[in-house]
Structure 1
Amino acid sequence: MNRRPRPNKRDMIVEEASRLFYQRGTGLGVDTLIDEIGVAKMTLYKHFPTKDDLILACLRFVDARYRDRLRSGLADDDPATERVLGIFDSLRDWFATPSFRGCAFVNATVELADPQHPAHQAVLEHKTSTREWVAELVTECGVADPQFVARQIVQLMEGAITTAMLEQDPTAADVARASAAQVLAANAAG
């Protein structure tokens, strides 16, 4: 008899809470989370002593999914420039999903405006690691100043995410992709 492994309760809580926080914001109450996730209060608090602990776990979960989503549009055998531009293809696919509600990290920063909130550091780590990953890709393009160009590309990504959310228009990724191609061409080493 083949038995499916039971999902880890902690992982299930994080996955469901991440979805709910993304859809409705981090202001969602613990009682609502418990009801909608379908766990006992004691189970939630066993894994996450505070709501802030749960928010941090959710941000780390979303960070991993975000990076996976971006990488999904990149083929290892593509030229370096196409790999960078493929980020925007991945973004466009994401923007076209019915559940798209902007950047979970920007949303959390706005909702939890206190820079002393524990989530603030997780947001900074996400933004820094995204920029470092883009810098690795940009370095392969042979541009003169990969760190600066990576910052430009990441700002185009951020702008596309915000525009797509506000305007409900996935083509924001296409505009950002065209701008990224111009940035890469203008900074091509010599």
Structure 2
Amino acid sequence: MSTTTSSGPTTRDRILDAATELFYSQGIRAVSADKIIERAGITKVTFYRHFRTKDTLVVAYLERQAAWERQALEGVRAATGDDAEVLRRFARAVGTETCRPGFRGCSFINAAAEYADPGSPVRKTVAEHRAWYRQTFAAMAGRLGVADPEQAADELMMLRDGAMLTGYLDDPSRVGTALERAIFAVVDAARAGSPT
């Protein structure tokens, strides 16, 4: 239904681009379908042809963000093959992201705050992405010799979440360095506690 033309993105991508900008800058509940339609420069019929409901669009927005984050982390891992270096670059990337003008925290934490029902499709999408992060962190921690990779993954997830909130609410300039130190404090402590 959506086709890419030589002049630009598909209609679906234009809708997602508009939604991403508006949802992130203004909040999901504050943005109406009409605002997205206006920003994308389409008709209501076109909007609803691509997204039956606003929640369907919210899920697509989060899935797109999740795919971007996963590709970025997997790309670093493929390029380095070194889990410690992946974690260092991850911390630096979070630090860079938090210093970006208009940074408002984590898209997934923000969405979860607006959707109270854990059974909603939006919260399920958030939970799936967070589970991917935990599995990824656990796998890296295991390869780094951590005795309890799942516990380390939970701690790394808390650090990631805290860094995103700190970058939004406080001075973001030190987030990357602080996150890197904290990540390796967890990893090193977990290694030190490993049976020899």
When normalised by structure 2's length, the TM-score is: 0.87
* Whole-angstrom CA distance in 2 between matches of 1:99 and 1:67: 22
Residue in 1 that maps onto 2:80:
77
Q: 2:104 aligns with which of 101, 105, 124?
A: 101
Alpha-carbon RMSD: 2.0
Query: Offset of 1:107 from its aligned partner?
Result: 0.6
Q: Match for residue 56 of structure 1?
A: 59
Aligned CA distance change for structure 1 residues 73 and 102 (closer, same or farther; 3 Å): farther
Residue ranges of structure 2 left out of the alignment (5+ in a row): none
In the other structure, the counterpart of 1:13 is 15
What residue is the counterpart of 1:111 in the other structure? Answer: 114
Amino acid across the alignment from 2:141: V
- Distance, in Å, in 2 between the alignment partners of 1:170 and 1:129 is 27
The aligned residue for residue 186 of structure 2 is 183
TM-score by length of 1: 0.89
Q: Percent identity?
A: 31
CA shift at 1:16, angstroms? 2.2
8 A contact 1:164–1:173 mirrored in 2 = no
TM-fit CA distance, 1:151 = 1.2
Gaps (5+ residues) in structure 1? Answer: none
Cross-structure match for 1:157: 160
SS of structure 1 residue aligned to 2:173: coil
Structure 2 counterpart of 1:89, from 87, 92, 97: 92
Aligned AA (2:13) = D
**Following TM superposition, by how much is the alpha carbon of 1:130 offset from its aligned partner in structure 2, in angstroms?**
1.1
Q: d(CA) in 2 for partners of 1:75 and 1:51?
A: 36
SS in structure 2 of the partner of residue 123 of structure 1:
helix
Contact kept? 1:74, 1:83, Cα under 8 Å: yes
Residue by residue over 1:67-89, the C-alpha shift from the partner in whole angstroms, topping out at 9 and shown as x without a partner, is 33445655743643232232111
CA–CA distance in structure 1, aligned partners of residues 11 and 171 of structure 2: 34
Which of 40, 44, 47 lines up with 1:41 in the alignment? 44
How many residue pairs get aligned? The number is 188
Instruction: Read off the aligned partner of 2:18 and give its amino acid letter.
Output: E
Report the CA distance shift for 1:66/1:170 in structure 2 as closer, same or farther (over 3 A): farther
